[in-house]
Each structure stands twice: as structure tokens, then as C-alpha cells.
Structure 1
Amino acid sequence: MTCKKGGIRVYQARRGEDLTASMLREVWPRRLHRATLLPLDGELLRYRTANTAPEARVDICARGFWTRGQRTFLDIRVFDPMAASHRELSLEAVHHRNELEKIRAYGDRILQVDHGTFTPLVFTTSGAAWPPRLGASTQD
């Protein structure tokens, strides 16, 4: 479960993406797809941990999801709540930390460069989800 090089964690994450996209299509029949973010062109991002890779991608992109005509980018993280690094934290705190890591990696770039909104989707390996702070990256 905690393998950093793939295996079951990667399989579960991809399965989570597929399942989430499938459920979103049920309530949001418009086209959903993986999206490569626009390349940076000298923009200064707020966080040192921001993803600045030229081929950075997010798991799901949908137009008009939160705001009419605007693209919403969603990225999924699956984590193991039983990992040693989480033992001292509450489940809510671990969910929040994972959510913030996603926001810091993608939120500012999506707002500044892609002019969209960003919503992180965080799940445990057993499928539990904490309600995300929807649009959190747009209110920082």
C-alpha cells in the first residue's frame, strides 16, 4: 500500500480517477478529460512546491462545472491513512494536509496561467473522502 514506485497505490489512484470521472459524467454529462496545463511564461507562483513542469497535467478537466464558461481542473490524490507518517494526526488533518499539497502544487498555476478553478479530490485507499473546501484555491 505504501510503495513509492507504483504497484497497488498507482492502480488504486488510476482506478479512483476512472471511478470519479465516471460518477462526474453521471451528474455532469459534458466532456471530461485529462488536461495538460499551459506552459509557464515567466509567471511567479506563490508556493515553492508548485508544479512548474512544462508538461504538467491534472486528472480531470471540465468546462462550466463551477462557473459557466470557465474550465475547472480536478486532481485526485489517494493516500493510506494507516501509513506511519499519519499516525499522530486525525483523519481530518491528513485529508486537509493532502488537499493543501494539491492546492499548492496546482492552484496558483491554474488561476494565473490557465484562468480556471481548481478542486483537489482526496480519498483514502478504502475510498473515504472528506468534503473538499470547494474553490479553496480561488479564495486564498
Structure 2
Amino acid sequence: MLREVCRDVSIEPNLLPMDGEQLQYRTANEARVDVSARGFWTREQRAFMDIRIFDPMAACHRGISLEAAHQRNEQEKIRAYGDMIQHVDQGSFTLLVFTTSGGMGPKSKCFYSRLADVIQKRSTSQGATLSPG
């Protein structure tokens, strides 16, 4: 669906190597995320998305709310990639966190809402140009 509304969509793109940048969290030098696309959130800016699926019934999530489990998983990914993408790649970073039972975290809901809006706007504008006058 991203290819319908964005340019330069890439699967598992490598992030730019760090060149002396000092980041808050330690990041692997040859890091990669799951998807990137140009122009998703901001015109011409590259958006990077990383996907995580977790089992909310796993032992590590027992005793915490589903909301807290989503937040924990999001924070782990932000620590791994957020600073690097923002400061080195000059892009935006969106986490797509899902549960094994089909639930999605707040940032994932925001992403899919934006995707639906962009697809709808694009189809509306194409329909307007294709309509007989």
C-alpha cells in the first residue's frame, strides 16, 4: 500500500553509518529497519518503519497491562533506532507494534490512520481528474 502513495519504498533498507555522532542510546553501526518510504509523514522526508510483533501472554508481560506491554516494546525499538534515524538519516521513525492476536499499539493506529487518509485523498484527486467534464 505504501507504494501506492509514496516514492522510494524500500524493504529492509540499511541506515546510514554513523560518522562520529554521539547518540543517547547505543546503536549498531550496520542497523536496518523493516521499511522506508519517502513522503509518508512529510513531503520528501524519508520515513522509516520498524515492525515488532509480541505475545501479550508471554511471561515477560505478565503482571503488566496491555498498554504497558505496547509501551515497553515501543521503547525498546526507539532506543535501538530512534536517535540514529533522526540525527544520522534525517528521517522520521515510526514503530509498528502488534500483538500476536491482531491488536496494535497507538503508534501503529496512527500510522494506519495516516495511510488511509493519504490513500483516500489520492483516490479522490485521481477520481476528480478522471471524471468526464
Deviations 1:80-128 (A, max 9, x none): 1000110110001000111111111101001110000100110011221
Name the TM-score, length of structure 2 as normaliser: 0.74
Q: How many residues align?
A: 109
The amino acid that maps onto 1:100 is Q
The amino acid that maps onto 1:67 is T
1:62 corresponds to which of 18, 37, 44? 37
1:85 corresponds to which of 46, 55, 60? 60
Q: Aligned-pair RMSD on alpha carbons?
A: 1.9
- Provide the residue aligned with 1:100 in structure 2: 75
1:39 corresponds to which of 17, 21, 32? 17
- Provide the residue aligned with 2:7 in structure 1: 30
Contact 1:122 1:130 in 2 (8 A): yes
Name the TM-score, length of structure 1 as normaliser: 0.71
Contact 1:40 1:52 in 2 (8 A): no
1:51 corresponds to which of 10, 27, 41? 27
SS in 1 for 2:34: strand
Deviations 1:26-55 (A, max 9, x none): 5x35342121000011111112xx3223x2
Consecutive aligned runs of 4 or more in structure 1 exceeding 4 Å deviation: none
Quote the sequence identity (%): 63
Change (3 A) 1:29 1:39: closer
The amino acid that maps onto 1:51 is T
Listed as ranges, the gaps of 5+ residues in structure 1 are: 1-22, 136-140
More off after superposition, 29-38 vs 59-68 = 29-38
User: For residues 100 and 77 of structure 1, what CA distance do their matches in structure 2 show?
Assistant: 11
**Is 1:71 paired with 2:46?**
yes
- Provide the residue aligned with 1:5 in structure 2: none
Q: Which has the larger radius of gyration?
A: 2
Listed as ranges, the gaps of 5+ residues in structure 2 are: 112-133
